[in-house]
Amino acid sequence: MVRDYSAFLPGASASQPSDRALTALESLGWRPFFAQQIDAEALTETPPVRVLSVHRSGLQVAGDGIEELIPPGPEATVGDWLLFDRALPRNSRVLDRASLIKRRAPGHDWQVQLIAANIDTLFVVTSCNQDFNPARLERYLALAFDAGIEPVILLTKTDLVPDPAPYVEEARGLSDRVPVVALDARGEAPARELAEWCRPGRTVAFVGSSGVGKSTLTNALAGSLAIATQAIREDDAKGRHTTTHRELHPVPGGCLLLDTPGMRELQLTDAAAGIAELFEDIEELAAGCRFRDCAHETEPGCAVRTALDAGQIDAPRLARWRKLKAEDAFNSASLSERREKDRAFGKMVRGVMKQKSRQKR
Ligand SMILES: Nc1nc2c(ncn2[C@@H]2O[C@H](COP(=O)(O)OP(=O)(O)OP(=O)(O)O)[C@@H](O)[C@H]2O)c(=O)[nH]1
Ligand SMILES: [Zn+2]
């Protein structure tokens, strides 16, 4: 079949998607950022498909008239765009990502795991009660910034407090770049209040602690769509039937909702850029300290302490910045240490092999 992909070529997006009905690809999140990475010929030869979920048996993908299970091979995660190679599916190329969430693998293995790609909005969810914790919110915000995603803070359970205003105020104080929405997650409010971010073709996800209302919000957006039980049957590479769960859900008439187990318990990995963005003011001050490695404690000429003493920055916020920096340094150091160890091990193995081959001669 010949398809007209001209609308996806660079420069062809003069009309905003909202002016007209979205094409099949656009409803899956396709936009100029991805189209710009390929030429028209590649578009017809290797049609773009989006990864809906990742399984041991492969990648569940969807495109314009395409629903396939690609065998394991491409280093992709849920939300990724691939150029589907029909002849050699495992060679399908992963397109550059607009955003990427990764994390340190759980346990004592320091490997980086890809969690989700191409999310547009990350809703950082907390409730107006004891779950509300500025340090945890900042951790998620830094992670979002680091991943290249615009975060939005969502305060749920407003119906359970006499006045949600103090929570809203504190959340607003975390960053002037992050919108804050407070609502009752049950009922009509989410569809209405989140419409700005949940437009067709946009990809959104919820993060937050257990019990804050992520499933409730998901159901509120998805309406009758029972996401938790939405299983798909597929044949794996060996023709066996498997039942899997889709993790990227097209919401009828709306956005794409990314709901994957990996989004829970996220840790910071190499998130220095995100922390720097969130604490821009403190980082700027720190750049003015006399010593480059200033710990902002007792060093002379410390611009951070001066600002603190002058009441220009908030002491608890400074403490949280320090903790996030320390945590990120620890995680990142562990990664590079591991790489260092791997190199040393590789060198040792090569040394032994050389010796052996010499002995054989
Ligand atoms: N009153 C009220 N209850 C809410 C609100 N949001 C969620 N709940 C309730 O809080 C409980 C937990 O909500 P969930 O949506 O399951 O929370 P979750 O974040 O998905 O939790 P996990 O699945 O454990 O990660 C449920 O009983 C919800 O009905 C809200 O805004 N107001
Ligand atoms: Zn200092």
pLDDT value for 95: 97
> Are both 239 and 112 inside the same structural domain?
yes
Is the model's pLDDT at 233 over the cut of 90?
A: no
| 124 in contact with ligand 1, CB cutoff 6 A | no
The structure tokens 């094409």 sit at 23
Q: Which ligand has an atom closest to residue 313 CA? A: 2
Cα–Cα distances in Å, from 44 out to 64, 86, 163, 242, 312?
11, 11, 56, 30, 57
Residues of the domain holding 242: 100-263
Q: Assign residue 300 the CATH number of its domain.
A: 1.10.40.50
Is the model's pLDDT at 143 over the cut of 70?
A: yes
Run of H or E including 205: strand 203-207
- Which atom, in ligand 1's list, is nearest to the CA of 157? 31
Query: Whose Cα sits closest to atom 1 in ligand 1?
Result: 157
Q: Is 16 exposed, middle or buried (0-12, 13-18, 19+ CB in 10 A)?
A: exposed
> Are both 244 and 110 inside the same structural domain?
yes
pLDDT value for 239: 47
159 is in an annotated binding site: yes
Pairing of strands 203-207, 256-258: parallel
> Are both 195 and 287 inside the same structural domain?
no
| 246 in contact with ligand 1, CB cutoff 6 A | no
> Are both 154 and 247 inside the same structural domain?
yes
| 340 in contact with ligand 1, CB cutoff 6 A | no
Whether residue 1 is contained in a domain is answered as no
Higher pLDDT, 293 or 103: 293
| 211 in contact with ligand 1, CB cutoff 6 A | yes
> Are both 193 and 252 inside the same structural domain?
yes
Q: Which ligand has an atom closest to residue 287 CA? A: 2
pLDDT value for 21: 83
Residue to mutate, 210, 216, 218, 227, ligand 1, most ligand atoms under 8 Å from C-beta: 216
CA proximity to 194, closest of 207, 181, 205, 206: 181
Determine if the pTM surpasses 0.80. no
pLDDT value for 221: 86
pLDDT value for 110: 62
| 190 in contact with ligand 1, CB cutoff 6 A | no
Domain stop point among 44, 70, 94: 94
Residue 3, CA atoms < 13 Å, CB-side half-sphere: 19
| 215 in contact with ligand 1, CB cutoff 6 A | yes
Q: 10 Å Cβ neighbour count for 262?
A: 18
Amino acid at 343: R
Whether residue 187 is contained in a domain is answered as yes
Q: What is the whole-number distance in angstroms between the Cα of residue 214 and the centre of ligand 1?
A: 7
Domain stop point among 44, 78, 94: 94
> Are both 134 and 190 inside the same structural domain?
yes
Length of the chain: 361
> Are both 276 and 257 inside the same structural domain?
no
Secondary structure tally for the chain: helices H, strands E: 11, 15
Query: Whose Cα sits closest to atom 2 in ligand 1?
Result: 157
| 195 in contact with ligand 1, CB cutoff 6 A | no
Whether residue 206 is contained in a domain is answered as yes
Whether residue 90 is contained in a domain is answered as yes
Q: Would you say 107 and 191 are in contact if contact means Cβ atoms under 8 Å apart? A: no
| 219 in contact with ligand 1, CB cutoff 6 A | no
Whether residue 282 is contained in a domain is answered as yes
CA proximity to 251, closest of 229, 233, 213, 224: 224
| 126 in contact with ligand 1, CB cutoff 6 A | no
Q: Which ligand has an atom closest to residue 321 CA? A: 2
ipTM confidence: 0.96
Helices (H), 29-81: 32-35, 40-45
> Are both 41 and 185 inside the same structural domain?
no
- Which atom, in ligand 1's list, is nearest to the CA of 212? 19
Count of structural domains within the chain: 3
Is the model's pLDDT at 174 over the cut of 50?
A: yes
> Are both 219 and 167 inside the same structural domain?
yes
The DSSP string of 298-327 is S-TT-HHHHHHHTTSS-HHHHHHHHHHHHH
- Which atom, in ligand 1's list, is nearest to the CA of 218? 15
Q: What is the whole-number distance in angstroms between the Cα of residue 295 and the centre of ligand 2?
A: 6
Whether residue 198 is contained in a domain is answered as yes
Q: Assign residue 49 the CATH number of its domain.
A: 2.30.30
- What is the three-class DSSP state of 174? coil
Structure confidence by residue, pLDDT tens digits, 26-54? 999 999 999 999 988 888 899 999 999 99
Q: Which two tokens stand for residue 178?
A: 């992050």
216 is in an annotated binding site: yes
Domain stop point among 263, 288, 309: 263
Whether residue 354 is contained in a domain is answered as yes
Q: Assign residue 256 the CATH number of its domain.
A: 3.40.50.300
> Are both 226 and 146 inside the same structural domain?
yes
Rounded CA-CA distance 167/292 in Å is 36
Whether residue 20 is contained in a domain is answered as yes
> Are both 288 and 306 inside the same structural domain?
yes
112 is in an annotated binding site: no
> Are both 253 and 301 inside the same structural domain?
no
Structure confidence by residue, pLDDT tens digits, 193-212? 999 999 999 999 999 888 89
